[in-house]
Amino acid sequence: MTSTEQQPFLSIRDLRVHFSTEDGIVKAVDGLTFDLAKGKTLGIVGESGSGKSVTNLTILGLHDRDRTRIDGEIVLDGQDLLATSERQLERLRGNKMSMIFQDALASLSPYHTIGKQISETYRKHTGASRLEARHRAIEMLRRVGIPQPDVRVDDYPHQFSGGMRQRAMIAMALVCDPELLIADEPTTALDVTVQAQIMDLLKDLQQEFGTAIIFITHDLGVIADIADDVLVMYGGRCVERGTKEEVLRTPQHPYTLGLMNSMPSLDGPVDVPLSPIPGSPPSLLNPPSGCRFHPRCAFAEKVPGGLCSGESPVLEVVDGRGSACHLPKEQRSELFADFAGTRHN
């Protein structure tokens, strides 16, 4: 996002993903714009139902096609993905772009060995021989830290622990050196130690291959560890973006501030009480008028004229930094400091 390259590696412009349901149109993603450069990690953070997974499944072309309307632009390395056939997309998946999910068991087949699954992915995209692909699978398992990879390659997924399965899925996702890796809460189900190991692994692999990574998480601590840039989503829209330092040190949107206050401080005292954001995420069938965050926002009353409930704030982005809020910029730091002060007293 902060890249000054003329043509970013991945460019998303005004993306809208709307689902037709019996109850009406679900506006799961509603006007999302961002860029990602090679070798960089974009963290996408937001509460449940904010549109994080739908955004990324749409990039991969894995969305539910029958009842979905997609508008906007997704361009990967100069290729317009929304104009790409399903067949071509299938070729790109696993090869140019791939994804790791929260639940490795759901992504791995229980009927085939880990090695077979990794090597078949490799063969499908490279045409390598069985033997070459087996060597490659062992090599990938070794790289992701599986002990005795030449033996464990013949194990089935149920013979691996949760952390090892997650590593195996990463090995499968990376076996063709994808240029874009989308990681959707890949460490949420794991204990803290394994989580840290997997994050280190992703960082190492990124350094080695220059992979661009989109990392989706609820956890700002994970963002602080792995991301270069951050995009905060609320109700299908981006409410704030910037570099990790900008967003985490000087949040400009009340929702980002709310997220930070609802999580243990990254570097502050451990005894500060947490304050969850009141209320719940908006319905995407019938989103609130104006700013979608207004029913939950502690600052809406500071904006005169009912603007917050009447008019949708525009996301203004300058040099990759921006937020969508009606509060005057010059008042935010003072208001936000007071808010944090109230909480800590």
Ligand X SMILES: Nc1ncnc2c1ncn2[C@@H]1O[C@H](COP(=O)(O)OP(=O)(O)OP(=O)(O)O)[C@@H](O)[C@H]1O
Binding-residue pattern over the window 242 to 281 for ligand SF4, x denoting contact by CB under 6 A: -----------xx---------------------------
Instruction: Return d(Cα 68, Cα 64) in angstroms, integer.
Output: 6
Q: Which of 35, 41, 42, 52 binds ligand X (CB under 6 A)?
A: 52
Count of residues engaged in binding ligand X, rule: CB under 6 A = 14
Binding-residue pattern over the window 14 to 33 for ligand X, x denoting contact by CB under 6 A: -----x-x----x-x-----
- Name every residue whose Cβ is closer than 8 Å to that of residue 16 and which is 6 or more positions away in sequence: 27, 29, 30, 31, 32, 69, 70, 71, 72
Query: Interface residues for ligand SF4 in 15-54 (CB under 6 A)?
Result: none
230 binds ligand X (CB under 6 A): no
Q: Cβ closer to Mg ion: 53 or 256? A: 53
Query: Interface residues for ligand SF4 in 273-332 (CB under 6 A)?
Result: 291, 293-294, 297, 299-300, 303, 308, 313, 325-327
The pair of three-digit structure tokens given for residue 300, joined into one six-digit string: 């809406």
**The residue to which tokens 């790791």 are assigned:** 100
What one-character DSSP code corresponds to residue 188?
A: T
Instruction: Return d(Cα 318, Cα 307) in angstroms, integer.
Output: 23
Q: Which of 51, 163, 254, 290 binds ligand X (CB under 6 A)?
A: 51
**The residue to which tokens 């749409």 are assigned:** 58
Buried-exposed string 205-241: b where 16+ CB fall within 10 A, e elsewhere:
bbeeeebbbbbbbbbbebbbbbbbbbbbbbbbbbbbb
Q: Cβ closer to ligand SF4: 60 or 308? A: 308
Pairing state between β 212-217 and 41-45: parallel
Beta carbon of residue 309, minimum distance to ligand SF4 (angstroms, whole number): 8
Complete DSSP assignment for 72-84: EEEEETTEEGGGS
Q: Which of 37, 54, 59, 180 binds ligand X (CB under 6 A)?
A: 54
Beta carbon of residue 124, minimum distance to ligand X (angstroms, whole number): 27
Of these partners, Mg ion, ligand X, ligand SF4, none, which one is at the site of residue 74 (CB under 5 to 8 Å by kind)?
A: none
- Name every residue whose Cβ is closer than 8 Å to that of residue 343 and which is 6 or more positions away in sequence: 261, 272, 273, 275
Beta carbon of residue 334, minimum distance to ligand SF4 (angstroms, whole number): 14
226 binds ligand X (CB under 6 A): no
Count of residues engaged in binding Mg ion, rule: CB under 5 A = 1
Contact 256, 322 (CB under 8 A): no
Query: Interface residues for ligand X in 276-295 (CB under 6 A)?
Result: 284
Of 286, 272, 328, 276, nearest to 304 by C-alpha is: 328
Binding-residue pattern over the window 15 to 54 for Mg ion, x denoting contact by CB under 5 A: --------------------------------------x-
Handedness of CA 89, 26, 294, 223 (dihedral sign): negative
Q: Cβ closer to ligand X: 27 or 116? A: 27
Contacts with ligand SF4, residue ranges (CB under 6 A)? 253-254, 291, 293-294, 297, 299-300, 303, 308, 313, 325-327
